[in-house]
Amino acid sequence: MLGPVAAAALGAGALIARAVTAPPAARSYDLVIRELERDQGSLVVVLDRTRQTTARGKYSLLFEQGGSAQLAEEVAERGPDRVARRVTNLSAALAPSNGDRVSWSGIYFATPADAGLVAEDVHLPTPVGSVPAWLIEGDGEGARTWAIHIHGLGSPRSGPLRGALVAAGLGYTSLVVSYRNDGEGPRTGAGRSMLGASEVDDVDAALKFAVERGAQRLVLFGWSMGATIALQLAADPTRRPRVNALVLESPVLDWIATVKANCARAGLPATAGLLSVPWLMLTPLARAIGLPGPIPLRSLDWIARSRQLETPTLVLHGTRDDSAPFSVAMALSERRPDIVQLEEFDAGHTMTWNSDPDRWQNVVASWLKTQLPDS
């Protein structure tokens, strides 16, 4: 029989593993609009002062009753406890009121139309069924280069629209995809994430779709766990010839390091994350927490596998990322300076575009023009 300490450790590991792989959760609306002001015809929202609401850059508020408000970069002081942000765009028919509950978000564009992009709704056949995607047609010679945009764990498909703007500016055709158990793609089993190990097959279907539609070159934009998926596709010898470049935003490069970082963010010892590893990697334990099978965490460690990478890669990462550690991205760039370019931002997880949109877009566009000069 297990002693009390071992039993407690085993139970803690199961809880952490369940949290890491949990189906998409309902969003928390933990901010309140304290006041609404008018400034030369513009709407201004007053919010409690937090680390998020004082961050410089472009962000949005998602409303509990539906809809969103895009916010300007400037932060105005409203005393010691509050700040004000000007609204630059509101969802149609949204009329904010004092006391509305909202959620702070880096997802600046809820739909392609919000980003000024014209998209067609398409459905891609995958091993688990049809998944929805947005197809944004390219322009001119660049249209033969396709950008596949892959969102992260717990994030909606709209998150990577920030990158689709750059692709559109270069004339690329874009496919913004979903996958199993992300809230839009088919639900399989208990709805839990396999941390990219199974979801990669669904995104592979997007690559096949692109090639069948005439794509001559592919660029994969991977956000957080989406980067885990993109790296698998680029490293697979059967898929590698299709992939010409990777653009990775806040990439998860080592799941064990990521789980440890998220434990620390939750107020637990970082080492507690190690307790989850058997539950993720051993078949009986993985199935006990609702996974269809074990997750091959070692094959998803891109520091250990760095020598297998051959695709030119741009990494955009925030130094304040408390989910996917910046230090891991640095380690990859130090091991593979021949193919990895790391761009550092003063930002949190998946917020590098928000912290400095102009720089983000210029860096990505310039790098892609260098890597794919004839597109």
Q: What is the CATH number of the domain that holds 183?
A: 3.40.50.1820
Given 99, 126, 155, which residue is the final one in a domain? Answer: 99
**Residues 62 and 134 occupy one common structural domain:** no
d(CA 198, CA 144): 28
The Cα-based distances of 360 to 114, 115, 176, 243, 353 in angstroms read 19, 16, 19, 22, 5
The answer to whether residue 70 is domain-embedded is: yes
The answer to whether residue 20 is domain-embedded is: no
**Residues 224 and 190 occupy one common structural domain:** yes
- Name residue, tokens 């969802």: 91
**Residues 211 and 292 occupy one common structural domain:** yes
Given 43, 76, 99, which residue is the final one in a domain? Answer: 99
pLDDT digits (tens, 9 = 90+) for 237-280: 887 668 999 999 999 999 999 999 999 999 999 999 999 999 99
Can you give the residue range of the structural domain that contains 76?
Answer: 34-99
Rg (C-alpha) for the chain, rounded Å, is: 21
* pLDDT given for residue 222 in this prediction: 98
**Residues 203 and 264 occupy one common structural domain:** yes
**Residues 227 and 366 occupy one common structural domain:** yes
**Residues 91 and 132 occupy one common structural domain:** no
If you count them, how many residues does the chain have?
375
**Residues 203 and 309 occupy one common structural domain:** yes
* pLDDT given for residue 238 in this prediction: 80
Using 70 as the pLDDT threshold, list the residues of the chain that sit under it: 1-7, 240-241, 375
* pLDDT given for residue 151 in this prediction: 98
The answer to whether residue 171 is domain-embedded is: yes
- In angstroms, how far is CA 43 from the centroid of its own chain? 29
**Residues 162 and 244 occupy one common structural domain:** yes
Kindly provide the residue ranges of all beta strands, DSSP E only, lying in the chain, ordered along the sequence: 31-32, 35-39, 42-48, 60-63, 68-71, 76-77, 82-90, 101-105, 120-126, 129-136, 145-150, 173-177, 217-223, 243-249, 313-318, 340-345
**Residues 66 and 168 occupy one common structural domain:** no
**Residues 62 and 124 occupy one common structural domain:** no
**Residues 256 and 336 occupy one common structural domain:** yes
d(CA 11, CA 2): 11
**Residues 357 and 244 occupy one common structural domain:** yes
The answer to whether residue 160 is domain-embedded is: yes
- Name residue, tokens 């760095």: 306
The answer to whether residue 26 is domain-embedded is: no
- Ordered alpha helix ranges (H), the chain: 4-21, 161-169, 199-212, 225-235, 255-265, 277-281, 283-288, 326-335, 352-355, 357-371
The answer to whether residue 17 is domain-embedded is: no
Domains in the chain: how many in total? 2
The answer to whether residue 295 is domain-embedded is: yes
The answer to whether residue 9 is domain-embedded is: no
